[in-house]
Amino acid sequence: MDSLTFMMGEFEAEFPVDRRYAKNHMWALKTDAGHRFGFSAYAVRLLQDVYFLDWYFDAPAPVRFQQEIGSIESKKAESSLYAPLTGELLAFNPALLADPSGINVDKYSEGWLFDLQESAENEETLMTAEEYLVHLKKVWKITQKTIKGQVNN
């Protein structure tokens, strides 16, 4: 699989070029029904050791871009999860409902989060791997400050 690399300090984060990427650090792989979404290597590296995942509703369900759809807890963070696109959330990964640690093990395959069919009136667009790396370069400095607890410095 062809991929691009972003250096997160001393750690490499790989991004397969066969996917698109959302600004909320999810990858999207085109499927017959729409897109399958999961966390990018960047997100998984920041989260580290996911141990709890909760969805706020059952699929299928309509969702709006940036609608809060769930929450995640890990060794490093607790965070809300937001819809990367407007559309119909078709299904959640049943394996992760039982054990979310699969996100840590196989983020670009078995660790997928959900399937979503994009709405025709969707305004948000997904980025190529190259565009996503440009985005990461822009946000990396503030991310490092956040990690170190220096957000307001």
Give the pLDDT confidence score for residue 151 in this predicted structure: 46
Is residue 78, in this structure, part of any structural domain at all? yes
Say how far apart CA 15 and CA 1 lie, in whole Å.
10
Say what the pLDDT of residue 141 is. 78
Residue range 54-76, pLDDT digits in tens: 999 999 999 999 999 999 999 88
Residue 152 lies in a domain: no
Q: How many domains does the chain contain in total? A: 1
- The CA distances from residue 25 to 58, 84, 104, in Å, are 23, 9, 15
| Strand ranges (E), 9-151 | 11-16, 20-21, 26-30, 35-39, 50-55, 61-63, 68-74, 78-82, 87-92, 114-118
Cα(78)–Cα(93) distance, rounded to whole angstroms? 20
pLDDT at position 119 is 92
Q: What is the DSSP letter of 105?
A: H
Asked if residue 153 is part of any domain, the answer here is no
57 part of a folded domain: yes
**Interatomic CA distance for residues 119 and 20, integer angstroms:** 16
- Domain interval for residue 30: 3-147
16: CATH? 2.40.50.100
Task: Show the low-confidence residues of the chain (pLDDT under 50).
Answer: 150-151, 153
Please give the pLDDT value at position 150: 45
pLDDT recorded at residue 101: 92
Residue 27 lies in a domain: yes
Q: Phi/psi zone of residue 3: left (φ > 0), alpha (ψ -120 to 50 degrees), beta?
A: beta
DSSP string, 33-70: SSEEEEE-HHHHHHH-SEEEEEESSPSSEEE-TT-EEE
Farthest CA pair distance, the chain: 47
Look at residue 119 and tell me if it is in a domain: yes
Is pTM, for the whole model, over 0.85?
A: yes
